[in-house]
Structures are given as C-alpha cells and as structure tokens.
Structure 1
Amino acid sequence: MPTVPFVLASASPARLRTLRTAGLDPLVIVSDVDEPALLAQRGVSDPTTVCEVLAQAKADDVARRPEVPAGALVLGCDSVLELDGVAHGKPTDAADAVARWRAMRGRSGVLRTGHRLARDGEVADGRSDTVVHFADVTDAEIDAYVATGEPLHVAGAFTLEGLGAGFVTGVEGDPHGVVGVSVPLLRMLAAHLGIPWPDLWA
C-alpha cells in the first residue's frame, strides 16, 4: 500500500494507465468543471494559460470533495495542442477532427499539459511541453482514422497509444507528456509538497 493516497482528477484512461505503469494506483474522481464556461469567465484563450487554468480548476474541484481520503495528493491535468498559436482540445465532432488532421499533417505542434498537485490546501503547479511531429497522412487515412472514433476523445485529436500511433513520426521532450501526464514533473511536484516519490508507489 502507498504511504500517501493519490487521487487522479481525470477520466483519461491514458493518464490512468501511465500512472499505474509508474507504480501508482490512483483513486479516480472526475471533476465537474465546466471548461468552456470557466475559460469564458477568465477570458483566456492562449494555449499555455488554457491548460494551466483548467488543470488547476480540476484539482481544486476534486480536492474539496468529501470522498477524497485524508492527506491525499490530488492531481489535475489538462492538455491542449498548440498549432499556429491556437489551443486545440478534444474535437467537437467528426468534421472538426477531419479539419484538424488536415491542418496538422506534415507539420509539428506542441502538446502543452498543465498539472496541479494539491494536498491539504497546499498546491504545486507545473507544465510539460512536448513537440509532436505528424506524418503527411492522406485524406483517406484521415477519414478512416476519424471513423474509428478514437481522435474524438483526446486533446489534439491523436494518441500514441492506439490507432493513431502510425501517424506520429516523432516527439521531442517528455514522451509521457503526449499521453497527458508528465511522470518526471509529477515527481518534482510531489517533492515540492514534501512527498518522496517512493511513498506513492503501490
């Protein structure tokens, strides 16, 4: 059993798998943050601020829940793909995913992931930035990929852990950042809150 309980404020299967592979066994409690409403209220649209504001809001929302174990670390994350200075989260529908891929193919974008780790009123914030290089895929490949539904559920409309793996030619930076949580950054944030990384291992 871990010395310190750990809560993931996200429904992302990729984040959960990554954390479990790193030795953690998170309790998943999904936040109720209305992302579009919050961003409109704050008046933010640049990719860096968007991912940071949403990650902070998610962690803070879940940290207040009565079901969170005493002394638990609560992790909130949010990822956006920056392309041409614009933040792209999950596609709104299949047509949006197709348009996104037609804009990304043969180019590179930056996946920015905000992180907030909260515990007993204390917080530690950070961000990981990973450059992603996309293959020059054909219209037929894009249509087939979008038809699977996979790109509709992930920031940037792609994933390395599924059918989209063949459409990413390389990454620069923390490879974990591509799945929406940076394990090395998480270790540093835990240390900032006085928690040694081995205390989180299940």
Structure 2
Amino acid sequence: MHFVLASQSPARLAVLRAAGVEPSVVVSGVDEDAVAAALTDPSREELVTALALAKAEAVLGMITSTDTVVVGCDSMLSFQGEMLGKPGDAETARKRWAQMAGGTGDLLTGHAVLRIEGGSRVTRSTGTQITRVRFSAPSPAEVDAYIATGEPLQVAGAFTLDGLGGWFVEGIDGDPSSVVGISLPLTRRLLAEVGVSVTDLWSPTS
C-alpha cells in the first residue's frame, strides 16, 4: 500500500511520521481561493472539506501506483463568524492576533481520503474535525516578535500549536493532532471506510 500525503505542510508530515507512517509527499498546487470561490454559500465544514478533496483529487492524477491511498487536508480557523486561512503577510497576521487575543475559536480541518485499487477503481471518504482553541493575550511586543519569525504568516489562523505559537495558546478542547494539521483519529476512521487498516501503513521501524 502506497501512502501519499497531498500537502507540503511539514507539520502534517511530522504528525504522520511520529505516528509510524512514512508517506510520499506530493504537492497538489491547487488554487485554494478559486476552489472556495466556486462554492455556493458553503458551511464551514463544507468549505474545508471541499478544499481537502480538491487537493487529494489533484494529486490522484499524478499517481501511477496501482494500490495507493491519498490523503488531503485543509485547515481554517473559525473566529467570530469568519473563516480565517493563512494571513500571508505581517499586517494581516497582526490584525488577526489583535482580534483573537484572549478569545476562543474553532480550528476546522477537512480531510479527504482517496484509494486507488487495481490501478483504476477509486473509493473515497471525507470528514471534518473541529477543535476549540483558547487563545491567551500576548503583549504587542510578543506579537511583533512572533510575526517577525515568519511562522504565523503561512499557517491557518496565524498560529501553531506545535511551534512558537504554542506559547500563546491557553488550551484546546478536542484533538491536538487536528490543530497541528491532520487528525489521526479521523484519518484512521476514513482509512477504514475505504478498506485500509492504519496498522498496515506503519513503517517497519515503528
């Protein structure tokens, strides 16, 4: 069984490796803004799941192995009725932290699992994991220092749990692996729905 992660996220790769899976990484190149714009009034769950599925489907077309499972993910922070993806620049990240400080939001990660069997038959399963995140209130100097590292610019909601941003998270209610970028419990269930046992994916050194 060939396991492919349709993501360039080092955090997702690290989660899988720590959990005994050594995936091949294939970056989808999907235009996330275009996918989102094509949706008609999606729920927050529909939005992140559609983005995850688009990534997995794009990578599926690059696969030549006859028995492969492809996993795509997409994360966004739902805060005060707004879905927040990657800020992309320092000013946007600063505004988001001014908004989030001391507040609570939901980190949603959409998952799509596609399986190729016999080189042609494709089965799929999708789902979304939601984890409540409670933010602390960093000082302006701390926010500036955090933004200067560049870390919050390219991650959903302008924060990480497993990196420098973890200093500014008071706590979470739910699955920590989902906040990092890929929910292990949900991925295990989705793999089972397409007929794959996660234990069969564990690397020999696990």
TM-score w.r.t. the length of structure 1 is 0.94
- Give the equivalent residue in structure 2 for 1:6: 3
Do 1:108 and 1:134's aligned partners in 2 also have CA atoms closer than 8 Å?
yes
Between the aligned partners of 1:148 and 1:40, the Cα distance in structure 2 is: 31
Do 1:46 and 1:86's aligned partners in 2 also have CA atoms closer than 8 Å?
no
| Bigger shift: residues 45-54 or 128-137 | 45-54
- Give the equivalent residue in structure 2 for 1:55: 52
How far 1:32 sits from its partner (Å)?
1.8
5+ residue gaps, structure 1: none
Between the aligned partners of 1:104 and 1:45, the Cα distance in structure 2 is: 23
- Give the equivalent residue in structure 2 for 1:69: 65
Tell me, yes or no, if structure 1 residue 19 matches structure 2 residue 10. no
How far 1:48 sits from its partner (Å)?
2.0
The aligned length equals 198
Between the aligned partners of 1:118 and 1:79, the Cα distance in structure 2 is: 18
- Per-residue CA deviation, residues 18-45 of structure 1 (Å, 9 max, x unaligned), is 0000100000000021111121122346
Matched to 1:51, the amino acid is V
Do 1:45 and 1:87's aligned partners in 2 also have CA atoms closer than 8 Å?
no
Between the aligned partners of 1:138 and 1:73, the Cα distance in structure 2 is: 44
Tell me, yes or no, if structure 1 residue 200 matches structure 2 residue 201. yes
1:116 maps to which of 109, 112, 115: 112
Do 1:79 and 1:111's aligned partners in 2 also have CA atoms closer than 8 Å?
yes
Backbone CA RMSD of aligned residues? 1.1
- Give the equivalent residue in structure 1 for 2:38: 41
- Give the equivalent residue in structure 2 for 1:138: 139
Matched to 1:159, the amino acid is T
Identity of aligned residues (%): 48
Between the aligned partners of 2:142 and 2:74, the Cα distance in structure 1 is: 28
- Give the equivalent residue in structure 2 for 1:85: 81
Any idea what SS the aligned residue of 1:74 has? strand
Alignment of 1:158-197 (within 5 A): 158-197=159-198
Tell me, yes or no, if structure 1 residue 102 matches structure 2 residue 98. yes
How far 1:92 sits from its partner (Å)?
2.6
Matched to 2:18, the amino acid is T
Between the aligned partners of 1:16 and 1:44, the Cα distance in structure 2 is: 32
Do 1:8 and 1:28's aligned partners in 2 also have CA atoms closer than 8 Å?
yes
How far 1:166 sits from its partner (Å)?
0.8
Between the aligned partners of 1:118 and 1:71, the Cα distance in structure 2 is: 11
Taking a change above 3 Å as real, the CA distance of residues 44 and 53 of structure 1, as seen in their structure-2 partners, is farther
Do 2:88 and 2:154's aligned partners in 1 also have CA atoms closer than 8 Å?
no
Matched to 2:44, the amino acid is P
